[in-house]
Each structure stands twice: as C-alpha cells, then as structure tokens.
Amino acid sequence: MKVVALAGGVGGAKFADGLAHCLSPEELTIVVNTGDDFEHFGLHISPDLDTVCYTLAGIANPQSGWGRMDESWVTYTELKQMGAPDWFQLGDRDLATHLERTRRMEEGETLSQITAHFCQVWGVKHPILPMSDDPVRTWVLTEDGELPFQEYFVRYRFQPAVRDFHFRGVERAHPAPGLLAALSQADVILFCPSNPFVSIDPILAVDGVRQACLQKRVIAISPIVGGRAIKGPAAKMFMELGIPPSPLAVAQHYAGLITGLVLDDLDADYAMEIQQLGIGTLVTNTLMNIPAERYNLAHTILQAIEGGKL
Amino acid sequence: MKVVALAGGVGGAKFADGLAHCLSPEELTIVVNTGDDFEHFGLHISPDLDTVCYTLAGIANPQSGWGRMDESWVTYTELKQMGAPDWFQLGDRDLATHLERTRRMEEGETLSQITAHFCQVWGVKHPILPMSDDPVRTWVLTEDGELPFQEYFVRYRFQPAVRDFHFRGVERAHPAPGLLAALSQADVILFCPSNPFVSIDPILAVDGVRQACLQKRVIAISPIVGGRAIKGPAAKMFMELGIPPSPLAVAQHYAGLITGLVLDDLDADYAMEIQQLGIGTLVTNTLMNIPAERYNLAHTILQAIEGGKL
C-alpha cells in the first residue's frame, strides 16, 4: 500500500513516525507544511520540517516534541544577555540545522535537496518532502491585525483571536519535486492530526495538491479530542471562527475532500453525524503520549484501511 | 593627550587594551580594520572588531587571543557532523555576536551603531569604531590565485605565497561617523602592532584616513620582532614580497607616514638605520604575553611621546 501523509508540527510528526514504523520508505512519503517557515537572525528556519525530521530521526526532544534531544542553550542565553529578541528559542544543536540550511540555500540548493541531505545525515530513510521549494508564508489575520505565523504562534502564544488565514506566495509556489507523482501513485492520502487551518490547508493550497486529493481515498485523523486540541491553537481557532471544536467540525472543514475520519474514543458520539456527511469513521485511541501509541495508532488505521473498514 | 589607535586582530587588540588602561574614553579612540569581515552561514562576521571588543571587555579567550572566554562548541560540533564547512570555528557564545549583528544589520543598523551597542552591553567604555560602515573586503592575490582574506588566512592557514592585496569596495567606502573628527582632534595616531598589509593598510585606504595621518604625529609599533611576526603572516608576507622582515622593513613600509617607530629590544640594532629615514625610534620590550605587559608597553610609549622622546 502506497501512502502519502500530509503533516504539520508535533502531532503530525508523531503520527508520521508511527507510519514510518509500519511502512517501508517505498510505501510512505511524508509531505510537510512550510507555511510556518520564517527568517530570524538572518537564518532560514523551517519549524515543521525540523520537527518531522528530528522526530523520525529519533533526535527530537521527547518532552516538548519540538527541538533537539539533549539540547543546550549557550548561544540563546548569550543572545538574551545582549538584549536580542528571545521570543523564539534557539537551541545550540538546533542552530546548526538553521545555519547549514541557510548556507546551502545561499549556495542555490532547494529546500527539498537540503531536507534530503539532512535526512541522509540523520539516518531518516523515508522520503520527507517540503510542500514546496518556493516561499509560502502563513499570515494570521487576527482581531489585532495581521501577523506572520511565528509571531502569532510563538511571540504572542496564539492569544489574539483569529479571523482568517492567508498563505502568501502560494499562488506562485510549485509543488516540490516528486510531490504530485507521490500523490498520484498513492493508494491513500492521510491528513495527520495537525492543525487544519495552518498545517494542512497550506499544503492543500499548493498548486495541484487539492486536485490530486480529490482523486484519492483521503483519511484525516482528528486533531480535536474531547473538544480540545492535544497541542496548539486548533480548538481555539475553531471557536474564534464560531464553530464548536469537535471531530464533526474537522469533518466539515475537510468536507468534499476526505473519505474517512479517525476520531478518538472520547468522541465516539460524533461518529454517526460524521457518517451522515458521507465520511467513513474509525473510532480508536488517538492519543500519542508514548512512542508505542504512535505505532499502534498508525497500525490500527492502516489495518482498517486495508480491511476496507475505512 | 588625545590618541587614535588603528588596530587589526589579536596584537592590535592587546595593545589597544593596554592603551585603554592608560587613557580615559575621552582620550582614546580605537579604529578597527573591517577588511577581514565576511559572510558565513548567512551571518555577518567581523573578526577584528570582535577580537578588539572581546579583549577590551575582558571576555576574550586568553589562550588564543580571539574568540570568547569559557567558550563551548555544541553548534560547531553539530555542524561538523552534518558535513558543513568547518574551516572557520564558530563558538557558541561567539555565534550570539554574529547572529545579533546580522539581525541588526538586516534591520538597517550600521556596523558603527551595532558596535557601540555591543560595547555598551559588554561594558566597554572606550569608543571602538569600525573603519567604515560600508563593506570593504580584503582579497589576497597569491601564487595560487586571488582569495578572500578569511579563506587565505583561516582555510588555507596563510600558506599560499602572496603577491599583492586588494581592498574591494574601499573606493566607495566612507569613513565611519566620527572617524575623521577623531583623527583631526588627535595629538598622536598610533598604528598598533598589527599586520601592515592586511590590518593597517585597509584602514589607511579608507577615504581621508591617510591624508589625516599625514597631518599628525604617527607612531607605529613594529609587529615584527626578531625577524618574525608574533602572530600571523606579517613576516611571511614581507619575505614573499622580497623584503627581509624587520622593524626597518616596517619603517620603510610606512615611510612618509610615520614619525616614530617602536621596536623590540631584540631589534635594537635597527634603530640607527630607521632614524636615518627620519623616523624617531623607541626601543623597549614589545612582547605582550601577559596583560601587565600590555599596560607597560602602552605606558612606556605614551610617556615617551609626552616626554618628547618619540
């Protein structure tokens, strides 16, 4: 079975890691949101790509889910003492990634090439593709004005209420090499339990991606469990847009695109309503507090798909 | 007495530090070569400015003379493991300087403004000026072709024989704000014991600096002692250009510009020949192995100047 998984940050990375334990590198391609990318201290930073790569490499910080394991903070501490902006944490090991990515970009390498190189260095066998090698920048229209994503997310800790999202540059962004081919060869496309608005939607907005999805079996894993997001602002965003956060809201958000939705045991009551939208459901434990749960969730979903139950 | 000192890297920094112990911030201005500046991993690095600032701040590595005291190498080690270029060492504390400088430059601050800010953060009271806020890049014409200074100096450990030097951009570079005023108000201008070809000459090449020097008492401290450079390629460069390295060679290099030369006890025999060029001499211990020697050397030279002996 050939699978393409669309992923954002921590939740997406954990589920992608689960899939990587069940599928060979020939069977799985992971496509990562780059709308979060930004420039900071002159460096090109790709937070979601880093989180996915670090997680699959087994070098992610197991507590936070992002950044590096065994991280130190010498440079960051020094920067703070110099009065530099400290709203985005820069670990010493993580900095090496940003520095080397920036250097290679300045030498003309694409984000895809650099990501492939990093994966080779870190021993990641499964192909990880940025959604595009062209710059796409997510801006969040809030009640306090429009903010670049990282400022909204990290600097202002997603406190301003959202009104809308804008993926700047996406109209000119080409899908990364191999992305459309992977989608067209896929037996199933999975939307990881990532933020629909700012993780999955930017990927879908890249030329050809949404259309490719429309030809396929597409299954989303709800990032909303028990009315909350496991991590991040997904539930808060639904509320601010006037929609009660639930797997049903996720199903409606992706309506016309997904053929199935995986929801948590806690939300079993929503299954019927979701099915009435013509969307198949799988109710299971979707929490991934420990690595074994990632593998179990991926295994359960892949088995349901293979067994024709989703 | 108002003094302006022109300085390059380690030797210049040590002597400038000696001067700073003898003169108040109102009496001393330090002008630093920026021809060594370069871009690496997307960062703007100013090696000589950093060395001078760190030294005056008392935070320089006392063993190497450059870089930070109590340095760590987490990012650099990680970069090496990623196969990144490792010919230029990037310490974790040092990296904070490069990052914050780059960030401020991208926000439109000048190198002068940034240097002033760093000095304030590090408690350096004496004004330290880059020679220019405009980019000047020293290229070294070698028998193996032309090399940017840092590649010649660090990457190739100054092994290729030199033929000539070129300060790219210097014809368009304006002297840093306050530089010409400091020179015109100076009672004496000192050329620190820095490399004449690649530390002092780039400063002299900035518009108005050489002319200002011609109006003043100018005293150089020979960086050549006993036929060798204390540090770096100065002696090797003299030889490759067909000139036996000695304080006399230094005097001839600066002929028409300097009114006095300070040479080491080891080289006392050269004093007469130098005086025959119309250049006054002071023979003293010029080695600065320990901080006290910096202060002694500065004190001895300043006393000789005040006493009319140089």
The answer to whether position B120 is within a domain reads yes
Task: Output the CA–CA distances (angstroms, integers) from residue B245 to A115, A155, B86, in the order listed.
Answer: 51, 57, 32
Indicate whether A130 belongs to any domain. yes
Instruction: Supply the mean pLDDT for chain A.
Output: 97
Taking phi over 0 as left and psi of -120 to 50 as alpha, with beta for the rest, A83 belongs to left
What one-character DSSP code corresponds to residue B164?
A: E
Task: Specify the DSSP element, H or E, that contains B280.
Answer: strand B280-284
CB–CB of B35/B194 below 8 Å? no
CB-based contacts of A18, cutoff 8 Å, min separation 6: A288, A293, A294, A295, A296, A297, A298, A299
Please give the pLDDT value at position B148. Answer: 97
Q: What is the tally of structural domains in chain A?
A: 1
Residues of B in contact with A103 (CB under 8 A): 40-42, 84-85
What is the predicted pLDDT for the residue at B20? 98
pLDDT band at A227, cuts 50/70/90?
A: very high
Q: How far apart are CA B158 and CA B146, in angstroms?
A: 12
- The distance of Cα B192 from the centroid of its chain, to the nearest Å, equals 7
Cα separation of B260 and B301, whole Å?
10
The pLDDT of residue B175: 98
This complex has an ipTM of 0.92
| Nearest alpha-carbon partner for A302 in A9, A8, A18 | A18
The answer to whether residue A241 is domain-embedded is: yes
pLDDT, residue A95, reads 98
Interface A-B: count of C-beta contacts within 8 A: 96
- d(C-alpha B178, C-alpha B64), whole Å: 31
* Amino acid of residue B147: L
Give residue B133's pLDDT.
98
Sequence-separated (6 or more) residues with CB below 8 Å from residue B158: B152, B232, B233, B236
User: Which of A79, A92, A121 shows the shortest C-beta gap to B82?
Assistant: A121
CB nearest A103 (choices: B42, B74, B76): B42
Question: Distance between CA A142 and CA A243 in Å, rounded?
Answer: 16
Question: Which residues contact residue A40 at a Cβ distance below 8 angstroms, ignoring those fewer than 6 apart?
Answer: A88, A90, A98, A150, B103
pLDDT for res B286? 97
Contacts of A102 in chain B (CB under 8 A): 41-42
Chain B contact for A120 (CB, 8 A cutoff): no
Partner B contacted by A73 (CB < 8 A): no
pLDDT of residue B181: 98
Q: Do A44 and B42 touch (CB under 8 A)?
A: yes
- Chain B residue nearest residue A41, CA to CA: B103
Listed by number, the residues of chain A in 21-40 with a beta carbon closer than 8 Å to a beta carbon of chain B are: 40
User: Closest-CA residue in chain B for A83?
Assistant: B121
Q: What pLDDT, in 10s, does the model give residues B162-212?
A: 999 999 999 999 999 999 999 999 999 999 999 999 999 999 999 999 999
Token pair belonging to A215: 């030809």
Confirm whether A238 is domain-assigned.
yes
* d(C-alpha A289, C-alpha A10), whole Å: 11
Residue A272 in domain: yes
Q: Would the CB atoms of A121 and B83 count as touching at under 8 Å?
A: yes
Tell me the shortest Cα–Cα distance from B194 to chain A, in angstroms.
Answer: 29
Q: Which residues of A touch B102 (CB under 8 A)?
A: 41-42
CATH (domain of A181): 3.40.50.10680
pLDDT at B256: 96
Q: What was the pLDDT predicted at A192?
A: 98
Within a domain: residue B243?
yes
Q: What is the CA radius of gyration of chain A?
A: 18
Contact A82 B121 (CB under 8 A): yes
Q: A69 at the B interface (CB within 8 A)?
A: no
**For A74-96, what is each residue's pLDDT tens digit?**
999 999 999 999 999 999 999 99
Taking contacts as CB-CB distances below 8 angstroms, the residues of chain A near B96 are: 75-76, 78-79, 82, 84
Asked if A75 and B93 come within 8 Å (Cβ–Cβ), the reply is: yes
Average pLDDT over residues A86-114: 98
Query: Which residue on chain A is closest to B72 by alpha carbon?
Result: A74
Question: Region A116-124: what's the mean pLDDT?
Answer: 98
> What's chain B's Rg over C-alpha atoms?
18
Report pLDDT for B298: 98
Is A96's CB within 8 Å of B83's CB?
no
Q: Residue B179's pLDDT is what?
A: 98
CB contact under 8 A, B102 and A41: yes
CA proximity to B81, closest of A122, A75, A114, A90: A122
Domain housing A214: 3-36+126-135+171-306
Partners of residue B90 in chain A, C-beta under 8 Å = 99
Cα separation values, A69 from A41, A92, A290, Å: 23, 11, 15
Question: What tens-digit pLDDT sequence spans chain B (310 residues)?
Answer: 999 999 999 999 999 999 999 999 999 999 999 999 999 999 999 999 999 999 999 999 999 999 999 999 999 999 999 999 999 999 999 999 999 999 999 999 999 999 999 999 999 999 999 999 999 999 999 999 999 999 999 999 999 999 999 999 999 999 999 999 999 999 999 999 999 999 999 999 999 999 999 999 999 999 999 999 988 999 999 999 999 999 999 999 999 999 999 999 999 999 999 999 999 999 999 999 999 999 999 999 999 999 999 9
For residue B41, the chain A residues in CB contact (below 8 A) are: 43, 99-100, 102-103
In this predicted structure, what is the pLDDT of residue B296? 98
pLDDT at A247: 98
Distance of CA B21 to the CA centre of its chain: 18
At residue B8, the pLDDT reads 97
Cite the DSSP H helix spans in chain B.
10-22, 47-57, 74-81, 92-106, 111-122, 149-150, 179-185, 201-204, 209-214, 234-240, 247-253, 271-275, 291-306
Select the residue of B85, B90, B96 nearest A78 (Cβ to Cβ).
Answer: B96
CA A155 to chain centre: 20
How far apart are the two ends of chain A, measured CA to CA in Å?
14
Judged on CB neighbours under 10 Å (0-12, 13-18, 19+), B159 is exposed
What is the nearest CA distance from A72 to chain B, expressed in angstroms? Answer: 8
Asked if the C-beta of B243 comes within 8 angstroms of chain A's C-beta atoms, the answer is no
